[in-house]
Structure 1
Amino acid sequence: MHWGLCPRGPGAAAVAAAGSFWGPARLPSRLGCLGMTRRLVVRSVAGADSPQSSSKGGRYRDTVLLPQTSFPMKLLGRQQSDMELEIQQKCGFSELYSWQRERKVKTEFCLHDGPPYANGDPHVGHALNKILKDIANRFHMMRGSKVHFVPGWDCHGLPIETKVLSELGVEAQSLSAMEIREKARSFAQAAIEKQKSAFVRWGVMADWNNCYYTFDPKYEAKQLRVFYQMYEKGLVYRSYKPVYWSPSSRTALAEAELEYNPEHVSRSIYVRFPLLRPPPKLESLTDASSPVSVLVWTTQPWTIPANQAICYMPEAKYAVVKCSASGHLYILAEDKIAPVASALETTFDVVAAFSGVDLEGGTCSHPLTPDKVSPLLPATHVTMAKGTGLVHTAPAHGMEDYSVASQHNLPMDCLVDEGGMFTDAAGPELQNKAVLKEGTDVVIKMLQATKNVLKEENIVHSYPCDWRTKTPVLIRASKQWFVNITDIKAAAKESLKTVKFIPGAALNSMTDMLDRRPYWCISRQRVWGVPIPVFHHKTKDEYLINRRMLSPALLTYVLR
């Protein structure tokens, strides 16, 4: 089968004779051209016209029965693109979609078009996406089905706003929200026209005069009505929780907006938290003359100022060890004694061993603020894969940390602002310093000054980044709107069983994500997008949402 040879073009008889025709001669001419190639390549057949070939070579060539063709060996310059356009016009590509919709057939194949972003010129990713969909549509059409395919564009969101603001440069800082929206809309419309022109040129079968656009007011109004229906059912709520936060974009992100850099370098430290009140079951193992410290390891030193607890694994084995170099006593997991001693370039002598549950009731003093108490708490997320078996817990900067804080009523104060800078609540030494840059350096120096850092080393590991700006993100607690996945998890899993996944392992990834995340952040701190239909009080932390807000008049105001 020769993809793209049209039996209505030159040399059709030769192609048909060679057995390369798409199907029976009685098929309509449009179907005869369904194999339109994205780049028509025509070759002369060996033996057709070769006056310069030697008689010795022709001796073997002439023994093979080959078809003759008048096709030129190649098309020069614009001849190739002109030929492709001529084929599209003669074969009625622009009318193919409407023609097949009028056929009286029993089956219909519906392909939902996951829309591209209207944020730039067409590229090879667009080509791969649209052409593969076109192949699927044409295949089902030739199998006798009526195809339903409505192409569209995602016209809102961070990708478009980021592109517009980057092009405006310094000028963007003086623009109002309405001005940014107007410029974003104009940018999206221009991008749509460029992309649509390319898709048509590629011969993709669709009704290009009737596409869907997410910035269509009717589309937006339906979104807001669905939002309110979910809110009424308790599936949407507002809460103060840690979310992935992009300092470069100054907004919350969903997991789908992250990409992971496997070569990211973090500054990791071993930190000691002096034992303030020994666990009741371990009082006999400690005395004032030999103070004991709990040993933790972290790859995010900047979160230490926000520490509220140290977590342990109740069913694991722990030990009190004595450092042969310094004589200090430390508590860590029994399984981590050898690797931690190696990392610290020392040896540990085991003083006593005990179960994790025996740590219950103990407290530590904060390594930067001695009068601040960090309790020892049990947690299910503690593992022995890395570190010391004891986990530093900062509720404002970790999903699992937040869960522990919720169970034990710990403070969840966030010390980081929208730009990724320490706030004044972090203290004068840290205020206005970027937590992922100089802020980390200052925190480590402060810990060194209190002699609570045992070692610092760089570690290469996978770290989440904003997939648009390619810069690291952080986890930061803030008030956002969330979808409650817990209440719809069972129904979602049942629905997924009816979907055929290619490859099949993708189903496991989807179900794992549902199990891991009980909520999904849907709000963004941006201008260009569909607003959440909520009115906030000017001075109080209160909001108003009800059915009357979805009246046509209010929707017109909200969506303008």
Structure 2
Amino acid sequence: MCADTTTQTPDYKSTLNLPKTDFPMRAGLPKREPEWLERWERIGVYDRLREKQNRTPFTLHDGPPYANGHLHIGHALNKTIKDMIVRSHQMMGFDARYVPGWDCHGLPIEWKIEEQYRAKGKDKDEVPINDFRAECRKFAEGWVEIQREEFKRLGITGNWADPYLTMDFHAEAVIAAEFQKFLMNGTLYQGSKPVMWSPVEQTALAEAEVEYHDKESFTIWVKFAVSEAAAADLNGAYVVIWTTTPWTIPSNKGVVYGQDYDYGLYEITGTPDESWANVGDRFILADKRAGDVMSRARLEDGMWKRVRDVSSDELADLSLMHPLAGVEGGNGEWDQPRDFRAAPFVTDEDGTGFVHCAPSHGMDEFELYRDAGMLAEVITYNVDPDGRFRADLPLFGGKAILKPNGKEGDANKAVIDKLVEVGGLLARGKIKHSYPHSWRSKAPVIYRNTPQWFAAIDKTVGDGLDTYGTTIRERALNSIDQLVKWTPKTGRNRLYSMIEARPDWVLSRQRAWGVPLTCFVKKGAMPTDPDYLLRDGAVNARITDAFEIEGADAWYAEGAKERFIGNAADPEAYEQVFDVLDVWFDSGSTHSFVLRDRADGTADGIADVYMEGTDQHRGWFHSSMLQACGTLGRAPYRNVVTHGFTLDEKGAKMSKSLGNTIVPDTVVKQYGADILRLWVAQTDYTSDQRIGPEILKGVADSYRRLRNTMRFMLGSLNDFSDSDRMDPAEMPELERWVLHRVAELDEVVRKGYGAFDFQGVFQAVFTFATVDLSAFYFDIRKDALYCDGDTERRRAARTVLDILFHRLTTWLAPILVFTMEEVWLERFPGDDSSVHLTDMPETPAEWRNAALAAKWSEIRKVRRVVTAALEVQRTDKVIGASLEAAPVVHVREADVLAVLKSVPFDDICITSAITTTSDPSPAEAFRLPEIDGVGVVFEKAEGEKCQRCWKILPDVGRHDHTGVCDRCDAALN
């Protein structure tokens, strides 16, 4: 057998500069992210950032979540946005501080402990109060630890070792001290007025603690008989009122009408078989409402007639009797005539044109009679804290408005039945309407007159901090417009309108777990008396000093009153107040013990940013504004950033019962926290956002594309060193165009992060990475990177890749905290290495080149026509790759042709050759309608295929090395 003497083409693969990296395409985030968390903690990244010198402080103050359950998707959205704000500002050169905190007092925790007691058959009232408070504290501590780890798992940076808790002793001392400022500056007062009251929880509620849900309510049309009237035909007639709260009828003290509405006297001329109206009955009604009222009473047309007008003067002369006047067993409770007058809040858009007044259960009525100086005559105390009528109320004593479980009690039915019995009802029905509910117990609330402690927001604050106004309301409204920047701007209008219209702030709650109202009232004195409250600086100091050491439990210790009053007054002359502060006062005071008092706080006690959900315009943004305006004289924040609510993929509210909830822990275990963070960055958080399995799949796809971009750079920079670096001024045009884009994007990124526009930042960077880089620049330069020897073109490309690496990793690190750390460590391993210890590099202004950008915009337009033409040939299987082509490009515009001839257009189009010509395009030329004046005629490349770079060129095979082109021969040499 003879030996084979055939010449074999060498395998040149080993001579190529192929990318080399261990960076995997499969991220494995759920498994690997905890390793990076442990590493950051080990090397102390957050603390090391605080050691950086000469940086402007930037503080995002954390609105404290409530320590009573696992995180939901809203928590994840909220904390991730905060983290992006903090991290981006740190990497832009600030000293960006973030102290996480928790809201630890209040009813939800107290409610949980009471539930545990009930399950064990224990009575809360038989347990010493400080023992009960200790169990509440322990419960909150447990959830703080759980939530802390859940937040950290999301990659949230911050001072986790030393968070703030509203139940810390120092915090309780400061909250008490902040309350005492209201005590001392004259804005604190005790008043008795209707407040939103939860019979289930037996406490007053603030507006921020109330949410509105549909509720089916009884609705009744009630007859108040006219007992005295100047006109004979009005005597014995009825004024009819309409209400959705029948239980308030026993507390009725009057009826009001509208001064400017048209009223008439209506007579019944016929009735159906079943009716509470009788032939001859006369009713006074607003003309606009008469037809509706008659139909509700099942009186058809022809069964009633309008007799005449009833003027405002006639109405003013009427006297009415309560429908239960003279009722058997009433003990005279309702026998006195009812007040009857005009009122501005009456409407003729619904009801009857008359409104029944129970001033103990409605603010409009309360204010009407307060302004008339008649409160003492009309206020009742018929409803006890548990929502039951007082035991000695005739006919209805002990009846419940609501059951302990929040369901309908027996009070409404008892009142309706009695009205039917005495002939006081004209009609009844049910209505489904939006009704206030406690956001904790989810049970309906009522308006109930109770003695409460208030902060007067329209009274002059006697503290001299009058730059923005003399009252809390003035200071707040001026702060909103003069001091605070709003993202989105609609947040300004929302908070402004709420504060503009709000009543005085109800500070007190009738509960046990919280900071008490640390004040004393004089026995026998009236709340309006000047000496009703004990105001003494030494007493206040003794209280806060004790709280610093013992916490607020000191208030409940035996002998506390004597201890704190000391020799400032006779302790026996005063009573100690045991109400606790509204938890919104707690969280509204956090600026004082976090921003003002901590070493990592702020010099002026003002935060750069408060960031929460839109519901906090009536919550934390609101209470913080009121509290600070009462103690600092201005807003405690410079920026307010607001996010919307999180909905499912179809835009529906998430609900466990619907099975459409997305739990952060589930997403993290399936995809990793970076995918959840990327979802946040891709959404417009200022509106409501949607999330679900399909949306997360799309996010994961975007992530993979970015990861591929980073992997290409890592592979191409495998052995890059400073000696490979090239001066940008000496680079080819393509590289200088990339640097121009980098300079443009650097401005976009910094402005976007500064404006908290993460969606804008990510979209800009993602488009750049996938379109400008992966689909254009990388695609073109792969040939030079892989096949060139030590050429200026390759050195320039790798220098640009190094520049891109440092920009992309730092631009994206605030969003993809784990992935950018992985990318960074792949290139710069080391115990102290971290992308999060790095700032975004400054970008030289001279990289901007508008003329060059305009030129390359034209080049890319023509390239689009060429690549589209080649795609047609590839689809038709005429060619397998673009390097098999040598198209002819016909260009009509001379200046565009000159641009194409000034660059290696064949490299740019990734063809083996290309011809550009001003000859008119032949009919068969390929065109794109949106790019006028360019036509492409396909031609195959001539020559042999280079066995190293795969270009088809005429010179292949004419060089020292077998089967290669001139460029590859030089590289091999």
What is the SS of the residue equivalent to 1:321?
strand
Partner of 2:274: none
Asked if residue 435 in structure 1 is aligned to residue 386 in structure 2, the reply is no
Candidates 412, 417, 420, aligned match of 2:387: 420
What is the SS of the residue equivalent to 1:111?
strand
Partner of 2:457: 485
Q: Deviations over 1:149-193 (max 9, x none)?
A: 211111111111112221332324332211110101111111111
Partner of 2:639: none
Partner of 2:934: none
Candidates 285, 298, 301, aligned match of 1:332: 285
After superposition, residues 107-506 of structure 1 pair within 5 angstroms as 107-169=56-118, 170-173=121-124, 174-262=126-214, 264-278=215-229, 283-284=230-231, 286=233, 291-325=236-270, 326-346=279-299, 347=301, 348-356=304-312, 358-370=314-326, 371-408=335-372, 409=374, 410-427=377-394, 429-436=395-402, 437-487=409-459, 488-497=472-481, 498-506=483-491
User: Is the CA contact (8 Å cut-off) linking 1:105 and 1:145 kept in structure 2?
Assistant: no
Looking at structure 2, the residues matched to 391 and 331 of structure 1 have their Cα atoms a distance apart, in angstroms, of 13
Structure 2 unaligned spans of 5+: 1-17, 271-278, 327-334, 403-408, 460-471, 547-553, 558-973
User: Is the CA contact (8 Å cut-off) linking 2:129 and 2:512 kept in structure 1?
Assistant: yes
What is the SS of the residue equivalent to 1:480?
strand
Greater CA deviation, 460-469 or 374-383? 374-383
Gap change, CA 1:72 and 1:554, over 3 Å in 2: closer
User: Is the CA contact (8 Å cut-off) linking 2:222 and 2:242 kept in structure 1?
Assistant: yes
Q: CA deviation at 1:545?
A: 2.7
**RMSD of aligned alpha carbons:** 2.5
Looking at structure 2, the residues matched to 555 and 447 of structure 1 have their Cα atoms a distance apart, in angstroms, of 58
Looking at structure 1, the residues matched to 43 and 510 of structure 2 have their Cα atoms a distance apart, in angstroms, of 41
Looking at structure 1, the residues matched to 123 and 74 of structure 2 have their Cα atoms a distance apart, in angstroms, of 29
User: Is the CA contact (8 Å cut-off) linking 2:222 and 2:426 kept in structure 1?
Assistant: yes
Greater CA deviation, 185-194 or 95-104? 95-104
Specify the code of the residue in structure 2 equivalent to 1:313. G
What is the SS of the residue equivalent to 1:501?
strand
Looking at structure 1, the residues matched to 20 and 217 of structure 2 have their Cα atoms a distance apart, in angstroms, of 67
Q: Deviations over 1:243-296 (max 9, x none)?
A: 11101101111111011112x000000011001122xxxx236265xx211011
What is the SS of the residue equivalent to 1:423?
coil
Q: CA deviation at 1:196?
A: 1.3
Q: CA deviation at 1:372?
A: 2.1
Looking at structure 1, the residues matched to 448 and 392 of structure 2 have their Cα atoms a distance apart, in angstroms, of 15
Looking at structure 2, the residues matched to 209 and 518 of structure 1 have their Cα atoms a distance apart, in angstroms, of 40
Looking at structure 1, the residues matched to 365 and 487 of structure 2 have their Cα atoms a distance apart, in angstroms, of 35
Partner of 2:496: 511
Candidates 42, 46, 62, aligned match of 1:97: 46
Q: CA deviation at 1:350?
A: 1.7
Looking at structure 2, the residues matched to 449 and 94 of structure 1 have their Cα atoms a distance apart, in angstroms, of 79
Looking at structure 2, the residues matched to 552 and 155 of structure 1 have their Cα atoms a distance apart, in angstroms, of 24
User: Is the CA contact (8 Å cut-off) linking 2:173 and 2:544 kept in structure 1?
Assistant: no
Looking at structure 1, the residues matched to 63 and 109 of structure 2 have their Cα atoms a distance apart, in angstroms, of 17
Q: CA deviation at 1:511?
A: 2.8
User: Is the CA contact (8 Å cut-off) linking 1:317 and 1:333 kept in structure 2?
Assistant: yes
Q: CA deviation at 1:70?
A: 5.5
Specify the code of the residue in structure 2 equivalent to 1:387. G
Partner of 2:534: 545
Q: CA deviation at 1:72?
A: 5.7
Q: TM-score, normalised by structure 1?
A: 0.81
Q: Deviations over 1:379-409 (max 9, x none)?
A: 1111222101100000111111111221331
Rg: which structure is higher? Answer: 2
Gap change, CA 1:559 and 1:510, over 3 Å in 2: farther
Looking at structure 1, the residues matched to 266 and 29 of structure 2 have their Cα atoms a distance apart, in angstroms, of 78
Greater CA deviation, 193-202 or 439-448? 193-202
User: Is the CA contact (8 Å cut-off) linking 2:255 and 2:354 kept in structure 1?
Assistant: yes
Specify the code of the residue in structure 2 equivalent to 1:338. G
What is the SS of the residue equivalent to 1:238?
strand
Looking at structure 2, the residues matched to 145 and 309 of structure 1 have their Cα atoms a distance apart, in angstroms, of 63
Q: Deviations over 1:332-351 (max 9, x none)?
A: 11211222223223244222
Gap change, CA 1:287 and 1:91, over 3 Å in 2: closer
Gap change, CA 1:270 and 1:96, over 3 Å in 2: same
Looking at structure 2, the residues matched to 354 and 319 of structure 1 have their Cα atoms a distance apart, in angstroms, of 5
Structure 1 unaligned spans of 5+: 1-65
Gap change, CA 1:138 and 1:95, over 3 Å in 2: same
Gap change, CA 1:94 and 1:301, over 3 Å in 2: farther
Q: CA deviation at 1:552?
A: 2.8
Gap change, CA 1:191 and 1:92, over 3 Å in 2: closer
Partner of 2:919: none
Tell me which protein shows more strand as a share of its residues.
Answer: 1
Greater CA deviation, 238-247 or 539-548? 539-548
Q: CA deviation at 1:523?
A: 0.4
Q: CA deviation at 1:80?
A: 4.4
Gap change, CA 1:381 and 1:93, over 3 Å in 2: farther
User: Is the CA contact (8 Å cut-off) linking 1:314 and 1:355 kept in structure 2?
Assistant: no
User: Is the CA contact (8 Å cut-off) linking 2:240 and 2:352 kept in structure 1?
Assistant: yes
Partner of 1:21: none
Q: CA deviation at 1:358?
A: 4.1
Greater CA deviation, 241-250 or 103-112? 103-112
Looking at structure 2, the residues matched to 94 and 358 of structure 1 have their Cα atoms a distance apart, in angstroms, of 85
User: Is the CA contact (8 Å cut-off) linking 1:314 and 1:357 kept in structure 2?
Assistant: no
Looking at structure 1, the residues matched to 324 and 539 of structure 2 have their Cα atoms a distance apart, in angstroms, of 49
Q: CA deviation at 1:413?
A: 1.0
What is the SS of the residue equivalent to 1:188?
helix
Looking at structure 1, the residues matched to 498 and 385 of structure 2 have their Cα atoms a distance apart, in angstroms, of 27
Q: CA deviation at 1:447?
A: 0.4
Looking at structure 1, the residues matched to 449 and 137 of structure 2 have their Cα atoms a distance apart, in angstroms, of 31
Specify the code of the residue in structure 1 equivalent to 2:255. I
What is the SS of the residue equivalent to 2:360?
helix
Pairs aligned (count)? 484
The alignment-based identity, stated in percent, is 36
Q: CA deviation at 1:425?
A: 4.1
Asked if residue 534 in structure 1 is aligned to residue 519 in structure 2, the reply is yes
Looking at structure 2, the residues matched to 122 and 443 of structure 1 have their Cα atoms a distance apart, in angstroms, of 44
Q: CA deviation at 1:537?
A: 6.7
Looking at structure 1, the residues matched to 83 and 556 of structure 2 have their Cα atoms a distance apart, in angstroms, of 34
Q: TM-score, normalised by structure 2?
A: 0.48
Greater CA deviation, 85-94 or 154-163? 85-94
Q: CA deviation at 1:414?
A: 1.8
